[in-house]
A = this chain, B = another copy of it.
């Protein structure tokens, strides 16, 4: 099991992203490990996504974005069984992490919400966030949700198919373990090849356009208007937590 722990809001800083990718790589290469449950060690928040206020200077920003790409390529393409136990809110990059798993269980608490809310911050979710989202909820729901930058409360997220299951918060880990057991009952090799068959087209697309995608991100995020709206947003998230 991997528990996110990066106070105050599990934001995906460069340090955190790098650590996450390395841990995942280790598990991937550990023959004794066949699956991973991803959850948060912090109350009320699964992960707040990328901390874009951290982005200063083209070089550092590029490095950060490359690390997000790296994490997604590893997680979405992982040979492990990946279960997200979403025990708090999960906007933007946090939602992407959940979407990239094989199965998503969320605490049945209408105060927790999840979604790719980039549009609300004046930014555009990159195409591979979109592709991952479409693969889970279909084109129509993705189109509306991305345009509105919706954060869906848990019950709505479940209705839309964004998460597979809701359980009372105190049963979340128990349920995640049961789901993991169900998936591990399958022979690894066939399951892994099947997963690759389903996800390869979308993974390949980022691999083919990686540098272009970094350039897009840098151009966008370095606009003063965007910087300002992001600073306000992160402040709000931190205040809400405390």
Closest to A162 in B: B140
**Interface stretch (choices A29-37, A66-74, A106-114, A144-152):** A144-152
* Contact of B137 with A140 in the complex, beta carbons under 8 Å: yes
Q: Could you tell me the distance between the alpha carbons of A229 and B182 in the complex, rounded to whole angstroms?
A: 19
B189–A147 touching, CB < 8 Å: no
Number of copies: 3
Closest to A188 in B: B122
**Complex-state Cα separation, A113 to B144, whole angstroms:** 23
- Which chain B residue lies CB-closest to A134? B139
A175 CB within 8 Å of chain B? no
B144 with A136: CB separation less than 8 A: no
CB of A232 to closest CB in B, whole Å:
13
Q: How would residues 99 to 133 of chain A score, 1 for a CB under 8 Å from any chain B CB and 0 otherwise? A: 00011000000000000001111111101001000
Q: Is A187 an interface residue (CB 8 A)?
A: yes
Min CB gap A69→B, angstroms: 17
14 additional contacts (CB under 8 A) given A103-B144, A146-B197: A118-B194, A119-B191, A120-B186, A123-B190, A130-B198, A135-B139, A135-B140, A136-B140, A138-B139, A143-B198, A146-B194, A147-B186, A147-B195, A147-B198
